[in-house]
Chain A
């Protein structure tokens, strides 16, 4: 008889989902309900949480209660929970005490531990501090390997590029050394991703919710089945919320009203096509527009007018001015001088107040070249009144 389970990670319960108008608590509640419902409908035996389930230990009691109710609800259906703590929700006894009271809640300790469910061995460990530099996989006691093996832990795989030495680093080599065909239910990377190393499946289900405004793409969790031939088959189950990234070509727009209409159309069309309960949009404006439209976009992103077009989390103006600096220079005279100054302009040349500079350093606006280009468009629009 096979084993079914759900694999999820990086829920970051308690993080403010500022891109949805609904209360974050409501969304988190709906997410947990959906996981529970999926678990029931598919007769799963247990659910794996591979770290960072909570955003931090200071989450409000309401969030903890949600999770506690979730555990209790699953207990009624004899569904177990295997819980690995991540860097955000590392183990603190007081924090986990209410959950540990529930008999279907199994939390992994600091060192490798193996729980057994039917014929399946579930290996895992938890973060006991925010930083865990130890290479845990290299010290895995291979004698614990069973016929069928499942791993559940929070880790950063070095080959993925980011240098996160504090997050229980691991490497593909280490996974390849695990001889048994195993399913590694991992946490830490917020984007759904998977690899096969030797006989092993390495799976990051990603966050089931967009926890930051740039986390677009498919969001959900895995429904996994251990078949009789010791192979793991998995289905991705989309979650309640999504953050849709849309690229809108605004080349034909002659004014901000047309840009706004295009955003409205895209938002409306996307919402018809996507069935998630909570939808927010990440809009990226592309194409070539007149400098005056560029100027208007800049103004109306700042004053929030364009955000009124729908449930928009972020609007990024990536459009280009249809008049290049070289074309501006062709106007000769002052325009030639403007283009020369524009080209030589550095960020340090802009006389900014220290207060603004402080605030600027806190933001992720880093591309001064694009600011410069926008500035040139604004200027050109004002000088030429290209409307």
Chain B
């Protein structure tokens, strides 16, 4: 289906008036005319035929346009009338109405119908912008997405983040802020260093203050010391006075209190002792008399023996009490021992066996025996359990194996094969089914196709193709015949009677006459021949002239008639000979067409629908051929699959047969059941194997333990034999050891009782002997004890009385002697003391004593004062005296005064320093209240953090941009749009292979690659090459996009910049294109027209006449 212009009749427009133009489809319609012959006007008129007018439509600028065009739009004939600035389409509803939604008027004018000037008036980007996006869309990018917009967006974001210059972008801003913060930190640090001076001053101030304080403290201490030295002086003087008084009293006859009291005591004691001596002498006399009376009543006895016997009797009595208790214990022990013997099934126990080292060995043996025994029991229990489990498993295995006709391994193998076969068979069947579906589907696709008709059309269509242009003349066959006749007649007339023909005739006649004359003259004479020559030539010429003149009018009439007819029939050839040839050609072809029409009429095909039917059939055939080919392939595949399926089915049948399965369901059921059972069997077999192994291990273990137990038992019996112990069962060893302590305590109780009995017997014998010695006999121990005790008591009482009297006498005599000695000593001492103090008697001594008392009081007072002095002043009186001896009191007073003054000065200085310190502290506290540095660092850190985040975004965006840029570049390299590929082919063709490829970068800049592989941007090309490039792009676009309407292509010059070779190439390209769509080419250059005529096979040339 194509769209083309059939004819254009211009009633009036521009320079045209009643202008009738005919165009042909499938041809290049070359409109040739000089400048101002209306080529551009005509092109505009052609453009206007296709689109509706709106108010701003350029056609409205031309007043009074009136024309009528006959178009074929998608094989529908449409008449477009333009008049009174209106456009009328007849019929109304044709595909032409929808054209603007297919190709916009603007695009039509830029791409389909353009002049030389408009060649650059188009932005090539617009041509294929949408197409490029369409390709990208196909690769997943949104329809609205524009790569350039994305680049712009990324760049915008990147620029918002960072620019090499400027302050506004975030990164720039944060870098600047960080610098500011650094500066601030630096300033603060500097200020801090300045503050450090203040702080240093403060430190010095503090040190000075502390030093002064220390000095003050030292001065105060010193002053305190001085004042301390000065303060006791008054007291010192008072003490000194008292000391002098005491010294006066001390110079007199003195008897101290002690001496006086000693004298007084001795004096009184001598008097008292003399009285006592008289009393003692009287007492001695009385005692001596009493002793004599008592000694006459008492005979002396050796009481010691009695006392010894009494002691032994008492011990014996005591032991007897104890032994009855021991006896009871021993009896209990024997009783208990017997019980133990009974339990152990023996008659005795050797005590040594229960003592170390044998006891220790027995404990170890018992421990070992118990452990082994316990282990033995446990192993036995485990063994039983495992054996029970094996029995259960065996029973389960037997149950599971029931119904298995083959060994499980074989069944399993078959099952695996069965599964695989089923899967494969299903797979193959599914594929076969799928293929059969495809075959059915494809078979449905095969359309009814009349092969005979197609063969006929195949034969006839090339002929029709050839003579198709003559179809419009078919109904004018009669006219043409008449016309042909007329032309022939005219030609006959002109041939026979035309001047030139006459001249040729005359010349021929003359030549013939001359030849004839020459022949005759050789026989006769020369003169008659010359005569004949001069007569025949003018006659001949005259005859010609007469004939020419007589037919002249007739010829003219004929010619006029022929011209009119030519016009009607659309024959515009220069000569009538050509016209005749054309008419004859038309007529011949009409005959052929009629014959063809007749041939195809039988098949209900007319010449009008021949082409459509033929192409439809070709298309149908192609499709059918394609389907057939696919069908064939699939059928072949299906056959192979069926063979494979058959082989699988055979194998499957073998398995089903082996197990006598009626069908697959029973096989599935059996195998599924088997699979479950087999899994269980495997698990059980494994379990059984494991259990058997465990049982073997346990059995070995059991034997080992039993052997251990025997060995332990032997050891035990060896120990028993060693100690001559009656055999004890090793099972009772634990009982024996458990009661070991008790047994040992029983043995001990019996032993102790026996020992005590022996001891008591020996003691009783000894007492009997002792008593016999003093004439006593042992009766009852307790009664004997009482009697002997009474006897001893009586003897002792008498003896004590005598002893006491004797002692009293001796003591009194001793006292008398001592008293006498003491009286003598005291008298000596008394005399000695009186002599020592040069005293006469006790009275004089009393006087001296009283003076001494006064002196002592004085001394005590002095001492008290000195003590108080030391307590009060912290220095002894004597030290103070020594100090005063070294340093005069007046000197001390001078020093103290000096110190007082110094202290006063220091206090003043300290007050000043305190004030300055407070002042400095105030300054420092002012400084301390700020933490600018912290805050500045904090700000800096925050900015750094923000900077980091922004850098991260920046690098991410830059990475994204780089990825996109590199990807687009690579993608463009590898996947240039189809448009460019087609355009490249056109350009290569037009430029005769000079340029081989058109590429486009992501900015839509065109790049050309020449035959040497060099690349060049389009804007750097020469004007001609640029024209070729743009035309190539248009042709490519049209080829790609316009597959529906196949609109005509209209060129106004456009190849004027091309060199000779490229012009030819371009025309060749157009010639090829013309078979697909109508081409109308306007030119004013005859050499271009000639080139078209020379190159093109299908050319319809129309010349525009100058208005002049």
Chain A: residues with CB nearer than 8 A to chain B?
14-18, 23-25, 58, 60-63, 65, 94, 97-98, 213, 298-299, 301-304, 314, 331-338, 340-342, 345, 349-353, 355-356, 359-360, 362-365, 371-372, 374-376, 378-379, 382-385
- A and B contact pairs by CB, cutoff 8 A, 19 listed: A17-B938, A18-B941, A60-B933, A61-B199, A63-B934, A97-B203, A298-B956, A304-B946, A304-B949, A334-B136, A335-B141, A340-B970, A352-B955, A360-B951, A365-B948, A376-B960, A379-B963, A382-B153, A384-B145
Partner of A341 from B950, B955, B963 at Cβ < 8 Å: B963
Contact check, B938 vs A18: say whether CB atoms are below 8 A apart: yes
Neighbouring B residues of A372 by C-beta, 8 Å: 959, 963
Contact check, A14 vs B934: say whether CB atoms are below 8 A apart: yes
Closest-CB distance, B914 to chain A (whole angstroms): 17
Q: How far is the CA of A314 from the CA of B952 in the complex (A)?
A: 14
Q: A378-B956, A382-B154, A384-B142 are in contact. Are A62 and B951 (CB under 8 A)?
A: no
Q: A60-B931, A355-B164 are in contact. Are A374 and B956 (CB under 8 A)?
A: yes
Q: How far is the CA of A131 from the CA of B446 in the complex (A)?
A: 93
Contact check, B934 vs A16: say whether CB atoms are below 8 A apart: yes
Q: A16-B934, A60-B931, A371-B959 are in contact. Are A359 and B164 (CB under 8 A)?
A: no
Contact check, B934 vs A60: say whether CB atoms are below 8 A apart: yes
Q: A16-B937, A18-B945, A63-B931 are in contact. Are A360 and B955 (CB under 8 A)?
A: yes
Neighbouring B residues of A314 by C-beta, 8 Å: 945
Contact check, B974 vs A337: say whether CB atoms are below 8 A apart: yes
Contact check, B960 vs A378: say whether CB atoms are below 8 A apart: yes
Q: How far is the CA of A65 from the CA of B932 in the complex (A)?
A: 15
- Closest-by-CB residue of B relative to A317 is B952
- Closest-by-CB residue of A relative to B953 is A302
Q: How far is the CA of A24 from the CA of B955 in the complex (A)?
A: 33
Contact check, B928 vs A61: say whether CB atoms are below 8 A apart: yes
A-B contact count (CB 8 A): 188
Q: How far is the CA of A20 from the CA of B136 in the complex (A)?
A: 50
Q: How far is the CA of A332 from the CA of B136 in the complex (A)?
A: 10
Neighbouring B residues of A301 by C-beta, 8 Å: 949, 952-953
Neighbouring B residues of A97 by C-beta, 8 Å: 203
Given contacts A60-B927, A61-B928, 4 further A-B contacts (CB under 8 A): A17-B938, A301-B953, A342-B963, A363-B948
Contact check, A61 vs B971: say whether CB atoms are below 8 A apart: no
Contact check, A338 vs B963: say whether CB atoms are below 8 A apart: yes
Contact check, B140 vs A302: say whether CB atoms are below 8 A apart: no
Q: A18-B945, A375-B956 are in contact. Are A62 and B964 (CB under 8 A)?
A: no
Neighbouring B residues of A379 by C-beta, 8 Å: 960, 963-964
Contact check, B948 vs A364: say whether CB atoms are below 8 A apart: yes
Q: Which of A14, A337, A363 is the most central at the interface, judged by chain B CB atoms within 10 Å of its CB?
A: A337
Closest-CB distance, B956 to chain A (whole angstroms): 5
Judge if B571 is at the interface, Cβ distance under 8 Å.
Answer: no
Q: How far is the CA of A382 from the CA of B968 in the complex (A)?
A: 14
Neighbouring B residues of A17 by C-beta, 8 Å: 938
Neighbouring A residues of B938 by C-beta, 8 Å: 16-18, 24
Q: Which of B157, B941, B967 is the most central at the interface, judged by chain A CB atoms within 10 Å of its CB?
A: B967
Q: How far is the CA of A342 from the CA of B964 in the complex (A)?
A: 9
Which parts of B1056-1092 form the interface with A (CB within 8 Å)?
none
Closest-CB distance, B68 to chain A (whole angstroms): 50
Judge if B958 is at the interface, Cβ distance under 8 Å.
Answer: yes
Contact check, A25 vs B964: say whether CB atoms are below 8 A apart: no
Contact check, B955 vs A61: say whether CB atoms are below 8 A apart: no
8 shortest A-B CB distances, which residue pairs?
A333-B139, A331-B140, A16-B937, A375-B959, A18-B941, A375-B960, A302-B953, A25-B931
Contact check, B951 vs A356: say whether CB atoms are below 8 A apart: yes
Neighbouring B residues of A383 by C-beta, 8 Å: 140-142, 145, 150
- Closest-by-CB residue of B relative to A62 is B928
Neighbouring B residues of A335 by C-beta, 8 Å: 139-141
Neighbouring A residues of B157 by C-beta, 8 Å: 299
Closest-CB distance, A355 to chain B (whole angstroms): 7
Neighbouring A residues of B967 by C-beta, 8 Å: 334, 337-338, 340-341
Q: How far is the CA of A355 from the CA of B928 in the complex (A)?
A: 38
Q: How far is the CA of A24 from the CA of B135 in the complex (A)?
A: 60
Contact check, B962 vs A351: say whether CB atoms are below 8 A apart: yes
Contact check, B955 vs A302: say whether CB atoms are below 8 A apart: no
Neighbouring A residues of B931 by C-beta, 8 Å: 23-25, 60, 62-63
Contact check, B139 vs A332: say whether CB atoms are below 8 A apart: yes
Contact check, B937 vs A382: say whether CB atoms are below 8 A apart: no
Which parts of B284-323 form the interface with A (CB within 8 Å)?
none
Partner of A384 from B141, B162, B164, B962 at Cβ < 8 Å: B141
Q: Which of B140, B934, B974 is the most central at the interface, judged by chain A CB atoms within 10 Å of its CB?
A: B934
Q: How far is the CA of A387 from the CA of B974 in the complex (A)?
A: 30
Q: How far is the CA of A292 from the CA of B898 in the complex (A)?
A: 93
Partner of A353 from B140, B150, B164, B945 at Cβ < 8 Å: B164
Neighbouring A residues of B69 by C-beta, 8 Å: none
Q: How far is the CA of A371 from the CA of B164 in the complex (A)?
A: 22
Neighbouring B residues of A364 by C-beta, 8 Å: 948
Neighbouring A residues of B170 by C-beta, 8 Å: 302-303
- Closest-by-CB residue of B relative to A355 is B164
Q: How far is the CA of A199 from the CA of B140 in the complex (A)?
A: 69
Contact check, A345 vs B959: say whether CB atoms are below 8 A apart: yes
Q: How far is the CA of A91 from the CA of B939 in the complex (A)?
A: 29
Q: How far is the CA of A371 from the CA of B953 in the complex (A)?
A: 9
Neighbouring B residues of A15 by C-beta, 8 Å: 937
Which parts of B906-942 form the interface with A (CB within 8 Å)?
924, 927-935, 937-942
Contact check, B966 vs A356: say whether CB atoms are below 8 A apart: no
Neighbouring A residues of B946 by C-beta, 8 Å: 302, 304
Which parts of B167-187 form the interface with A (CB within 8 Å)?
170-171, 175
Closest-CB distance, B145 to chain A (whole angstroms): 6
Neighbouring A residues of B959 by C-beta, 8 Å: 345, 350, 371-372, 375
Neighbouring A residues of B192 by C-beta, 8 Å: 58, 60-61
Contact check, A62 vs B963: say whether CB atoms are below 8 A apart: no
Neighbouring A residues of B947 by C-beta, 8 Å: 359, 363
Neighbouring B residues of A58 by C-beta, 8 Å: 189, 192
Judge if B954 is at the interface, Cβ distance under 8 Å.
Answer: yes
Judge if B138 is at the interface, Cβ distance under 8 Å.
Answer: yes
- Closest-by-CB residue of A relative to B136 is A334
Q: How far is the CA of A304 from the CA of B950 in the complex (A)?
A: 9
Judge if B957 is at the interface, Cβ distance under 8 Å.
Answer: yes
Q: How far is the CA of A96 from the CA of B967 in the complex (A)?
A: 64
Partner of A302 from B145, B153, B950 at Cβ < 8 Å: B950
Chain B 119-158 interface 0/1 with A at a Cβ cutoff of 8 Å (1 = within): 0000000000000000110111110110000100110010
- Closest-by-CB residue of A relative to B962 is A350
Neighbouring B residues of A363 by C-beta, 8 Å: 944, 947-948, 951-952
Judge if B975 is at the interface, Cβ distance under 8 Å.
Answer: yes
Neighbouring A residues of B933 by C-beta, 8 Å: 60
Partner of A375 from B150, B937, B957, B974 at Cβ < 8 Å: B957
Q: How far is the CA of A379 from the CA of B157 in the complex (A)?
A: 13
Judge if B161 is at the interface, Cβ distance under 8 Å.
Answer: yes
Q: Which of B135, B157, B932 is the most central at the interface, judged by chain A CB atoms within 10 Å of its CB?
A: B157
Neighbouring B residues of A384 by C-beta, 8 Å: 140-142, 145
Contact check, B963 vs A375: say whether CB atoms are below 8 A apart: yes
Q: How far is the CA of A353 from the CA of B975 in the complex (A)?
A: 32
Contact check, B958 vs A333: say whether CB atoms are below 8 A apart: no
Q: A334-B140, A365-B948 are in contact. Are A341 and B957 (CB under 8 A)?
A: no
Partner of B971 from A18, A334, A352, A355 at Cβ < 8 Å: A334
Partner of A359 from B139, B171, B960 at Cβ < 8 Å: B171
Q: How far is the CA of A356 from the CA of B164 in the complex (A)?
A: 9
Neighbouring A residues of B154 by C-beta, 8 Å: 382
Closest-CB distance, B946 to chain A (whole angstroms): 6
Neighbouring B residues of A355 by C-beta, 8 Å: 164, 175
Neighbouring B residues of A298 by C-beta, 8 Å: 952-953, 956
Contact check, A16 vs B140: say whether CB atoms are below 8 A apart: no
Neighbouring A residues of B162 by C-beta, 8 Å: 353, 356
Q: A60-B933, A364-B948 are in contact. Are A337 and B970 (CB under 8 A)?
A: yes
Contact check, A371 vs B952: say whether CB atoms are below 8 A apart: yes
- Closest-by-CB residue of A relative to B948 is A363
